Amino acid sequence: MGRKQSDQSGSGSRRSVLIPVLLSVTSCILVYTVSSWVMRHPMDTTSSDGGSSAILARLERVDAEVEGEDMGECCRGLEHLELWGSAVKWGTDHKFNTSRECCQACKAMCGGVDGPCLCDSWVFCGDRERCREKFGECWLKKQKDVMLPALQESGDKVIWTSGLIFGKGEGIVSLETEYGNIHIKLFPDCAPHSVAYIVELLGARHCAGCRIYRAEGRGHSWDSVGNHITEASFGPPYALIQGTLEAEGLPFKGIPVEACPTIKRGSVAWVGAGPEFFISLANHHEWVRAYTIFGSVLPEDMEIAEKIAGLPTKSDTWNSVNVSVLEKPIDLKIKRISTNNGDLNLGSNANSGSS
């Protein structure tokens, strides 16, 4: 894919209360490291190993290994964090062996696919030595505002792991552009560190410096619904729009690798450890476990992303990757979307030309 050469991660210790001091190592790291290099030096799909069909065939086995997270079955939380809130199940009478089981118990209290949730946060004690008699306790809770959950305590001394679940109409943010607003559903169960950073951006009440500067359509490699066309190349163009979510004056610290399922049309993911991000316009099965996905564009807003991908561009080269950058970068504002009984208020795209 390529990283903009002039961008460097900022320094500083910026972190919201949702992010613990100790960052855990995830299963994506090794593959992520290799794939990041590959994205800077794209694969030659015309080689003698069978072309793009052969590449996709080899990748099917790897995709099967992460099918759970591809199917929306992520269950990740933040260690050394204890969330407060009204208990819907008391941990003293509700125990499991793993945090994943605790998370799944909370998810089971959501009505249907993306339905309203009676439980929207969970707190688990999984360190047998430190938790002692509290080991296995799984507290299921309901927040007054799941985007701003009540915090009891955080830090290395905290024995609890906590996570959030966003139900229907919850966890939606809007990237506002002059071409229309792109609404994104955040994935706190897949990328809790990433979502915590987005919530921190919302709290800053500005995103000066946030912009989209790269735009590449689907070309002749992917069809209108994002499926790869047999024997076509994997780019360029790479079917994405790319930008940064680093606000001026707010130091940025890299986000750890989190869930890395297959990139699909509408996926929103970090490039490296951020703050560069991209929105995919296609299903990229060739990018295996390479990027942390922290959200997905609502289907009805993909036309805005496609519109941006069709704007005038000029050619550039980043780390040996040929890219198309916008002649005029697009400034972004990020806002939280309010809901009314689970129904989204998305009227802001009625006039897609407004700023």
Write the CATH number for 185: 2.40.100.10
- Answer yes or no: do 237 and 300 share one domain: yes
- 88 shares its domain with 174: no
- 92 and 221 in a single domain? The answer is no
- Tally of CB atoms within 10 A around 4: 18
**pLDDT value for 338:** 73
Instruction: Average the pLDDT over each of 20-24, 76-80, 147-151, 334-338 and give the range with the smallest value.
Output: 20-24
Are 290 and 190 part of one and the same domain? yes
Does 349 fall in a domain?
Answer: no
pLDDT for residue 326:
97
CA distances from 42 to 75, 124, 232, 273, 277 (A): 32, 42, 14, 19, 18
How far is C-alpha 279 from the geometric centre of its chain's CA atoms?
10
Is the domain of 304 the same as that of 202?
yes
> What is the number of domains present in the chain?
2
Residue 348 belongs to a domain: no
Q: Which residues of 157-187 are buried (b: 16+ CB within 10 A; e: fewer)?
A: ebbbbbbbbbbbbbbbbbbbbebbbbbbbbb
Total residue length of the chain: 355
* Cβ(146)–Cβ(307) below 8 Å: no
Q: Give the span between the Cα atoms of 5 and 36, in whole angstroms.
A: 14
Q: Are residues 246 and 136 in the same domain?
A: no
Residue 351 in any domain: the answer is no
Whether residue 104 is found in the same domain as residue 225: no
In angstroms, the CA 253 to CA 275 distance is 9
pLDDT beyond 60 at 54: no
Is the pLDDT at 186 greater than 70, yes or no?
Answer: yes
What does the pLDDT average to over 108-129? 86
Same structural domain, 209 and 60:
yes
Does some domain include residue 232? yes
pLDDT tens digits, residue range 130-158? 999 999 999 999 999 999 999 999 999 99
Q: Which of 57-61, 141-145, 206-210, 285-289 is predicted with the least confidence, judged by mean pLDDT?
A: 57-61
- pTM here? 0.79
Whether the Cβ atoms of residue 108 and residue 118 lie closer than 8 Å to each other: no
**Shared-domain flag, residues 110 and 213:** no
Q: Domain containing 159: what range?
A: 78-164
Tokens, residue 81: 């964090």
Residue 12 in domain: yes
Buried b (16+ CB within 10 A) or exposed e, 189-221: bbbbbbbbbbbbbeeeeebeebbbbbbbbbbeb
Rounded to 5°, angle at Cα 66 from 63 and 69: 130
Q: Specify the DSSP class assigned to residue 27.
A: T
Confidence of residue 65 (pLDDT cuts 50, 70, 90): very low
Residue that terminates a domain, selected from 132, 164, 196: 164
Does a structural domain hold residue 347?
A: no
The CATH number assigned to the domain holding 109 equals: 3.50.4.10
Q: Compute the distance between CA of residue 60 and CA of residue 251 in angstroms, rounded to an integer.
A: 40
Tell whether 216 and 260 lie within a shared domain: yes
Helix (H, G, I), strand (E, B), or coil: what is residue 109?
coil
Check whether residue 246 and residue 111 sit in a common domain.
no
Query: What number is the average pLDDT over the span 39-44?
Result: 34
Of 130, 164, 198, the one marking the end of a domain is: 164
- Looking at 116, 147, 164, the residue that finishes a domain is 164
In a domain, 222, yes or no: yes
Alpha helices (H) in the chain, listed in sequence order:
29-40, 51-65, 67-70, 99-107, 128-131, 192-204, 302-309
- Is residue 108 in some structural domain? yes
Residue 9 to residues 12, 28, 243, 272, 275, Cα–Cα distance (Å): 10, 20, 14, 10, 7
> Are 188 and 334 part of one and the same domain?
yes
pLDDT digits (tens, 9 = 90+) for 4-34: 655 444 434 334 444 333 333 334 544 444 4
* pLDDT score recorded for residue 53: 46
